[in-house]
Structure 1
Amino acid sequence: MKKDYYDMLGVPKSASKEDIKKAFRKLAHKYHPDKKDGDEAKFKEVNEAYQILSDDKKRAEYDTYGQTFGGAGGAQGFDGFGGFGGFDPSSAGVEFDLGDIFDQFFGGGGGGGRGGMRRGNDISIGIEIPFTEAVFGTTRTVLVTKTSACSSCEGTGAKKGANMKTCSTCNGKGKVHEARRSPFGTFSVSRTCDVCGGTGQIPEEVCATCKGAGVVRDREEIRIVVPEGIEDGAMIRMSGKGEAVPRGTTGDLYVNVRVMPDKTFSRQGLDLVMHLPIKLSDALLGTHRTVVTLDGDIDVTIPAGISFGETLRIRGKGVPSRGSRGDLLIKLTIEMPKKLSKKAKDLIESLKKEGM
């Protein structure tokens, strides 16, 4: 069944990039496999949908052709036709040759196939960071098990100093053509050559470490730079840090960031919010309080006659973003005494008579 990426993210086809981003963040946080009630399959689905719809070129291609010409895995056939169910051109390194299809109908010209370099799979992982590190930024080092370019041959698959020769499978073209039958007739499919990986050349002697594959599977240490002001559920894309493929381009690494809640602070956009209880006498007469913030202790003046629920705004003590910072919002709550002494009651009665 054809996947509807818009439906996966719960957005209309007219959705803006910002709407798509917000929907993805919400669903990625909901389904993240690290959560107790997470759903790995759903997480992968929304990630796949976001990768297509957040890219203008891929989105336009998807809107025009559907999944058949999309960049994501699990592509299906044309709507209403059989013959391609379960056929995944992206995983097989296959791209349809539109020129050859048009030749069948119009006798027109179209060049050769568009077959190009293969691309490795993307990887998704999750990390959890404290609230303070999300505000000011941090770094994390993770170990990821994946295929990487062989260090001995630098991904070529060739023995050091070995000569290269023309690939006999594709005759140096880097791609092979296959005849495919469809409801429209027989047409040519251009596929990346499995032997040379699309380069058109193979080594006369292969690398002993990777046995000519050009890649090895190992644990790689990856340093993740978490930018200041990152929000809970945000996704960091690290280009070229995904799975490597022989003589192809490496996929990307997607890092889902989970921000742990803080006991004192919460966020409203770029503003930090905290609650500060004060005594009734301080609300009436005013006072000075030392407040512990993420930047250290600051002295706060509470004006006389402040009302219950009022908010003090401390400029420039919020979340950093692009050279500026939000504000710190201190929401005041007035602590009412549970018991009153006779002297206190008499004083309050006096205030009452004064109209207070």
Structure 2
Amino acid sequence: MAPRPRRSRLTRTLLAVLVTASVAVPVSGAARPAAVPAPAPTTLGPLRDTTPATLAHRYATTRADIRAAERTADAHGDHRRATALHALAAPARHFLTFDGRDGGRSTEVYGDLARADRIAVLVPGADTSFDTYQRFRAGAQALQQQLGRQPGIHPAVIAWLGYPTPATVSPAALTTTRADDAAPQLRAFVKELRHSRPASRITLLCHSYGSVVCGRAAPGLPATDLVLYGSPGAGADTAADLHTRATVWAGRGADDWIADVPHAQLPLPTTTLGFGTDPVSPRFGARIFPAGDGGHSDYLKPGTPSLANLARIAAGRPPTAAPDTTAAPDATAAPQRTTGEAHRA
């Protein structure tokens, strides 16, 4: 009879973690779009500098690659994907990277990266792809506009779709496997940004399953701030366990259903099931920013306290308790350090 309580606890843990199948639901629909063929993109190599000439060359090259992918999708008969790619290839769009294969990867810039001294990198959650990209783009645009209201800075927002996000309801959404695979790419990209913009403040804004990606990428990540919002967990018991020199922030809207997701974690031979401690809990030790009353998909909506505070953090200013839709001066008092900052120099 002695082993029964142990098996019972394990069963309860597994059942609890399975609830995380709802992780990062940004849109309705449970199935990931079928893969659409696309040609291999032009090899560009790492981002070594952000001079206007270098950026113009990359933007023109990726635009040509997007148009090639559009033609391939159209010939394949997937007119929905072709239409989405046509929008991405507009002359006003600026992509540092693009790969149309395997559901698509891209890195899009909003703002003038050549002058930016504040760079916010958005890391999305599940069901983000070229077919649903407009939602991701809307959030990036809203953040760039909000940052533009902060005085005395030159901001840029980067929408990093650098991994195949899991489907909303799928085994991949229950484990860290996709995040484990994505973390080296995210870390490498941020290191390129740091090398090319050494004086800029870099903030990672990580939504839902994207916060698992950021948690896995955190060790050695040369970012100033790491922000987890609408998060099921970061794959760690505490912010200190992320082993990052970045300040770790966390926030959750009052109407975000992810608050009901149990926070459990079970190591398996090749992955981890579940995502660990709730990032907004005192035990985790992150700095908490007010995120308002919104739901899981509302954090980057214009006029919300969450958007205002995410922009303030990215600008290097402390969050406020109420919506801040106008420019505000720098606070003179520095906030207290937390467990999440234990590894800062």
Same fold per superposition (TM over 0.5): no
Larger Cα Rg: Structure 1 or Structure 2? 1
Q: Choose between structure 1 and 2: higher strand proportion.
A: 1
More helix by share: 2
Q: TM-score range by the shorter chain?
A: under 0.3
Higher RCO (C-alpha under 8 Å, 6+ residues apart): 2
TM-score by length of 1: 0.21
